[in-house]
């Protein structure tokens, strides 16, 4: 990738350059937008192979968790490079391994939230005064939601009424830097873009990347597939992470939750790294080295 991309937080301008560079270097890459954010920023999808019924990776759901965006760009770039040159990645021959498989990566579902987290309210364009009222004027900004103050991982249609009661019990009644699920499920353009994509392409399994905690979540409700636990155990063994269940306000409304309830197929939330968000960009290289085998297995299982 162009010089410095993996050494700095990935704001929107850097991501646009990264997508264009990947397009130019790898003719096999399919790059397109699945929709627009509240502020009109493209939500990029980058794919390899026949994208129907493949594997879907999603990062950058929360603003301060932008390290997941860098992680997915780096993994995709390595896959594309090894596929093009015929060199192995972690002793796996990528071209042969992916011959009958496909991967679609959405590195950043929440480009507005990431922009606000990196640049503060100035990243919110005409909504700058609104963001200032909710979060103050600092940059970088402790911001997880989208530009309307809706936490995308509370906005999916899975246990929304129960989650709303839990939010209100926690004193959350409206737009906020984090944990407000919106007035109704799928109220946000980013959420709708992702759910529409899933309905169109019918992924066989999905992975949502967050930070931090070194945990893997695989269960939701009564429709969790039996094989999800086994896949989760394989991923945990490869990464050293723990299988766990989210607690409290993290237990409903997420992408994983909606996907399991809607499709009855495996879905996982992977909380990468350990520390306080935003994890420093210097953590990317050791994080990637530790998770590379797990990322490959997630595509191949």
Give the tens place of pLDDT for each residue, 227-252: 999 999 999 999 999 999 988 878 89
Q: pLDDT category, 2, cuts 50, 70, 90?
A: low
Rg (CA), the chain: 18
Residue 36's nearest CA partner among 172, 139, 147, 159 is 147
Percentage of residues in the chain having pLDDT higher than 90: 91
Quote the mean pLDDT of the chain.
96
Mean per-residue pLDDT for 263-277? 98
Give the pLDDT confidence of 184-232 residue by residue, as tens digits.
999 999 999 999 999 999 999 999 999 999 999 999 999 999 999 999 9
Q: What is the pLDDT of residue 248?
A: 86
With CA atoms as reference, report the closest residue to 260 among 291, 294, 295, 232: 232
Residue 22: name the closest of 99, 84, 96, 91 by CA: 84
């Amino acid at each position: 990738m162009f010089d410095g991309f993996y050494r700095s937080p990935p704001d929107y301008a850097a991501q646009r350059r990264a997508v264009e560079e990947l397009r130019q270097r790898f003719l096999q890459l399919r790059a397109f937008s699945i929709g627009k954010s509240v502020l009109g920023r493209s939500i990029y999808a980058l794919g390899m192979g026949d994208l129907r019924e493949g594997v879907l990776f999603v990062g950058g759901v929360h603003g301060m968790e932008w390290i997941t965006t860098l992680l997915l760009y780096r993994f995709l770039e390595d896959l594309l490079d090894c596929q093009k040159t015929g060199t192995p990645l972690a002793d796996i021959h990528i071209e042969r391994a992916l011959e009958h498989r496909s991967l679609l990566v959405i590195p950043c579902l929440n480009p507005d939230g990431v922009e606000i987290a990196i640049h503060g309210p100035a990243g919110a364009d005409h909504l700058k005064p609104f963001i200032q009222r909710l979060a103050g004027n600092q940059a970088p900004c402790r911001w997880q939601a989208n530009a309307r103050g809706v936490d995308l991982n509370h906005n999916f249609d899975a246990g929304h009424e129960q989650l709303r009661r839990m939010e209100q019990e926690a004193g959350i009644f409206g737009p906020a830097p984090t944990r407000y699920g919106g007035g109704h499920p799928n109220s946000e353009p980013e959420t709708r873009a992702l759910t529409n994509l899933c309905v169109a392409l019918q992924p066989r399994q999905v992975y949502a990347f967050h930070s931090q905690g070194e945990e893997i979540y695989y269960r939701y409700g009564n429709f969790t597939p039996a094989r999800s636990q086994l896949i989760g155990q394989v991923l945990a063994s490869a990464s050293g992470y723990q299988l766990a269940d989210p607690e409290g306000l993290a237990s409903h409304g997420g992408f994983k939750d909606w996907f399991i309830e809607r499709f009855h197929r495996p879905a996982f939330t992977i909380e990468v790294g350990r520390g306080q968000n935003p994890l420093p960009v210097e953590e990317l290289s050791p994080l990637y080295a530790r998770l590379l085998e797990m990322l490959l297995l997630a595509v191949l299982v």
